[in-house]
Chain A
Amino acid sequence: MAEDELSATELLLRAGAGEPGAVERMFPLVYDELRRLAHQHLARESTGRTLTTTELVHEAYLKLIDQTRVEWTGRAHFMGVAAIAMRRILVDRARSRRRVKRGGDSVRVPLENVDLTADERADLVVALDEALERLRGLDERQMRVVECRFFGGMTEEQTADALGIGLRTAKRDWAKARSWLYTELYDEPIS
């Protein structure tokens, strides 16, 4: 079965050509690679320097994609997929931690703060993920912008390229989505 799988490069090219399903098929490859790289880094650099998403994604890109065959727009596309993968990696780990440690009790949303415990961080990630899923139903583009900027660590320009939207839209969506998420997480619902 394994030899039937197409390379990430091939899938990226097909995704660029608009082939339905190509992104979904590329996704597991990106997910695996990113997760592997993240662990490698953690093992190697357990002290000191923090890991950046940009580095991880870039490294995964070099690893998975044959750059001689892919244009610049393909790279933007790849980053968009990598952002989704990063979201899933982090959310999956957060959920797993919550399930293992606390049997999946309800999420308490901590304020965003650098001094959070690992459990609180897991809570926050899960709460964000759930709010993002609600946002997907309301305005999917805003949700995708958050994925790129927050989970993918991408700049405004990179986000606009990956999603094929204007720079102004990317900025505005980011501002609106952050406000919306903030109210979802920290404000009492009013009706």
Chain B
Amino acid sequence: MTSRSRELTTAERERFLRIDAIFDAALDLEPDERVDYVARACGDDNALRGRVQLLLDAHARSSAFLGSPAIDLAGVLLEDPMPGSDHAASLRAGPFRIVRELGHGGMGVVYLAEREGAEFQQRVALKLVRHLGASEAVRRRFVEERRILALLEHPNIAHLIDGGLTTEGLPYFAMELVEGETIDAYCEARSLSIDQRIDLFIDVCEAVQYAHEHLVIHRDLKPSNILVRADGQLKLLDFGIAKLLDPLRPGDEAGATQTGLIALTPEYAAPEQIRGQTVSTATDTYALGVLLYRLLAGQRPYEVRGLTPAELERIVCELEPPRPSAVAPEKSKRALSGDLDMIIMKALHKDPARRYSSAAALRDDLQRYRTGLPVLARPESRTYRLGKFVRRNRTVVSALAVTVVALIGATAFSATQMREAQRQRDAAVQEAERQHALAEVQTVLASDSRDAAGKALSAPERIALGEQVLVQEFGDKPWLVVEGRQELSGKLYEMGERAAERAMLARASALALSAHLPTQFAVAECRRAYSLTFDDELDSARAALATARAALATPGASIPAAEAMCADSEGQLLVAEGKTDSAIVMLQHAVDLSQGDRDKPFRLQAMMDLSLAVRFAGRTRDAAEIQRRVIADLDAAGFRGTAVMLNVMTFITGSLYELGELASVDSLSRAVIRAQASVPGSHSTAYLTFAVGLAALRSGQLDTAQVWLTQAMAVDSSEDAGGLSAYLPPAITQLRLEQGRVAEARASLARLPSGTLQRRVSRAWFTSWTRYAEGDTRGAITMLEDSLRVIRGTADKPPPILAVPFTMAAEWRLAAGEARAADSLALLGRAAAGIDSLALQRSAYVGRAELVRARARRALGDTVVARDAADRAIVAMTIGYGPANWHTQAAKAFRSSLR
């Protein structure tokens, strides 16, 4: 018996086509001409000739073959007793006996069935293909559902028990039997309060999130698929039309066409489903929104029964539904209006990219609501209304601006000191002395000291005074003075006073050297290297690092905390040198080395540094993950509301902006602005002032940004020239450009820093942007391209992030209708990202370059290369931005338009 599903080879198909063509031509001839013709057409291919002749013979003999309809031949078979659903009671499926039907849908029937074992009786929900006559597509779909269920093991998802073929040859599988009510009926029957309903709904989010993490999209979330048992346990059912995302084959054909098979539930279908566009996890988020609407407001956002497809599409895709509070019963209106309205409307957003990024994000916001915290869903901020151009430009800026991160440096050294102390003398005494010394210094720092003229001392002046006290009081114990100086240098670092910080560190290392304290010496030099790297003095940084490494090579000097410090500094240096891959390895090493509890602040610093390198490599999503961890850890360590925390929060907005999580950017920025008020002296700390201004700028709050950035400029220049000189001018330029104050933008260009690759690119970018804003579009494009080419020529091993401005330049060209120029720029962008590194396949930035290239190629009519480029873009973005990210989704949408 020949296999029905055997795949034909291309060769077989080609051979058939040849045979068929000759056979076809022969049939046009008179019977007596056919033999000659076939002989001529087949040449010396005897097999071919034999085959055609066979068909001609068959043609002559088969005039009666299949002459009467099939029913005449096989009608008698219909008299056999009917198998299938009609005789369900007599059906067995493997070890299960079918008891009765529970329900049926378009493709399957679900039965209550029992397995009789020796000692137990198991009741299951058994699902069968409903029709013996089900099409292959339906059967495949059914097998897919079984495969998906096998992946999922979660307390809120009905799990797979068994599967196989019935005696009829129908595929079946057995699932956990859930006896309960649908979620809406459950809520009504028990008159649950709004809070109780939300808590129940959070379980749904958990189940959906779990499925998403296993790359499964449910696509049919609705009350009849969500049952609640009498004991309150919730179970998600029916993955009958679920889709398994394949990150390596995004948007594959099978998945796309299968969507068409599905009887959508119009009430719960998202706009992209109605339109037959690519579905994503955000599609489930939408259905969750409808469900929550239904549970809290008592009705669904739209009444869609009896509509034509065109009406349905218009309503679901275009019509804004009423706020839940507007349609809810009187008693719940008040509770719904405000946060819950906003949460639901965010989940129901027409644009998938603007819904909650995941079921977990929706759950988190509901939990925030339940615990009285501000929710992230809020009226769309100004950000959304800003012109597309500004938004896209800002992405480039957020990618290029190396933001200042100031974590606590000094605390990190406590562990170092402990170890030194143990080696030298009695640890307890040492520690007591250390605490005493630091307390003394702290007193000075906190005091309201005044100078001879009665003027209050500035923070750096107080630190200088602290150092004097330190030397006076503890001059006989060099290790304590070294320690104190490091502590003080940390404070200077936090303030952005890097020149003063380095001077302090230099005094610390000089003393450590003369007192034979190699570990402390190494640590001080590493800190110095770190600070030097910040100011782009890379050669000096390298030298300091080499000295530190040499000191650590002294027998007994090496301890993990110091090694970690060196690794961190070296990692930073590698980032600045553009060696992103090596930097990531080094910084990961630093994080691994600093596991001890007391090193925690340093570990967080290392994690932030790591996140920066990861971001430069184009793995934006991973970077944001690391940064979120840092925030959570800082929060747990009691840093909430401190300058450190606010700095980190500002830092993370850069990654989030790039990922398109604008709502998070907005809420974080607002939190930063709100929180600064409670940080003592925030107005006079250049770093923090800058961070607040930057946060405001990123979220498009230009007036606020102006206040804070101007303040930062005042504080910065009044205290120290070095501090923010590399960071403030770009921010000011961006602010002026976004405000449309082009002349001022032009004036601030002169202060833009140069030096590192990123800074040079950033400078070129702002210069061109200004020119663009001045109305000289063409000049702006040419200038940008020229500077980028020059920069690229000088770069030894450029980081993937360099692809970003090239890509933007390519987009400008493409927008101007110059596809060929766009194509070559995008190609340069890709190449700039480092051909020789794995980053090529992994970087979000490369993905963006590839996508623009694909667009350019399509504009040139070259679909083949366009497809390749789009495929590469999807792979790169899936890794860099994540499969559900809007960049990735946009790439997929574009790719499917190329078919």
Contact = CB atoms under 8 A, between A and B. Distances in A.
A130 B2 contact: yes
Contacts of B455: none
B158 to A, nearest CB: 16
A183 B58 contact: yes
Interface string B443-462: 00000000000000000000
A182 B61 contact: yes
A112 B65 contact: yes
Contacts of B130: 28
A180 B77 contact: no
A153 B130 CA distance: 26
Interface in B655-673: none
A42 B76 CA distance: 9
Contacts of B4: 129-130, 133
A22 interface: yes
Chain A, interface size: which category? Answer: 35 or more
A176 B73 CA distance: 21
B13 interface: yes
Interface in B14-59: 16, 20, 23-24, 27, 47, 50-51, 54-56, 58-59
Interface stretch (B132-140, B277-285, B351-359, B470-478): B132-140
B452 to A, nearest CB: 86
Contacts of A27: 133, 135
Nearest to B103: A1
Contacts of B8: 134, 137-138
Interface residues of B, number: 69
A112 B518 CA distance: 99
A1 B590 CA distance: 56
Contact of B77 (A94, A99, A149): A94
A28 to B, nearest CB: 5
Given A28-B130, A99-B168, A178 B263 contact: no
A125 B105 CA distance: 30
Given A39-B82, A172-B24, A176-B27, A118 B134 contact: no
Contact of A88 (B7, B104, B133): B133
B73 A181 contact: no
B79 interface: yes
B74 A93 contact: yes
A51 interface: yes
B168 A183 contact: no
Contacts of B66: 112, 146, 149-150, 178, 181
B254 interface: no
Interface string B259-282: 111111100000000001000000
Contact of B65 (A35, A122, A178): A178
A187 interface: yes
B193 interface: no
Contacts of A19: 260, 309
A34 B309 CA distance: 27
B78 interface: yes
A21 B257 contact: yes
B72 interface: yes
B133 A183 contact: no
Contacts of B257: 20-21
A175 B20 CA distance: 12
Interface in A115-150: 116, 118, 121-122, 124-125, 129-130, 133-134, 137-139, 146, 149-150
Nearest to B129: A28
Nearest to A11: B263
Contacts of A53: 69-71
B77 A42 contact: no
B58 A187 contact: yes
Contacts of B107: 28
B138 A125 contact: no
A146 B309 CA distance: 34
Given A39-B78, A51-B71, A5 B263 contact: yes
A21 B262 contact: yes
Nearest to B4: A133
A31 interface: yes
B83 interface: yes
Given A25-B263, A31-B133, A51 B224 contact: no
A12 B2 CA distance: 35
Contact of A138 (B16, B54, B69, B169): B16
Interface string A54-68: 001000000000000
B468 interface: no
Given A133-B4, A179-B62, A93 B104 contact: no
B71 A138 contact: no
B137 A24 contact: yes
A54 to B, nearest CB: 8
B897 to A, nearest CB: 16
Contacts of A186: 58
A176 B23 contact: yes
Contacts of A90: 70-71, 74, 77-78
B70 A86 contact: yes
Interface in B93-145: 103-107, 130-135, 137-138
A28 B131 contact: yes
Q: Which 3 A-B pairs have the closest CB atoms?
A: A21-B260, A20-B260, A88-B133
Given A27-B135, A89-B78, A176-B23, 14 more contacts: A4-B105, A20-B257, A20-B259, A24-B261, A28-B130, A39-B78, A53-B70, A100-B167, A112-B66, A124-B73, A150-B70, A151-B69, A179-B55, A181-B65
Interface of B: 1-2, 4-8, 12-13, 16, 20, 23-24, 27, 47, 50-51, 54-56, 58-59, 61-62, 64-66, 69-80, 82-83, 103-107, 130-135, 137-138, 167-169, 224, 257-265, 276, 309
27 contacts: A2-B104, A5-B263, A19-B309, A21-B259, A24-B261, A38-B71, A42-B75, A90-B77, A92-B132, A96-B132, A97-B80, A99-B169, A107-B1, A122-B77, A124-B73, A124-B74, A133-B5, A138-B13, A138-B20, A150-B66, A150-B70, A151-B70, A176-B27, A176-B59, A178-B65, A180-B55, A187-B54
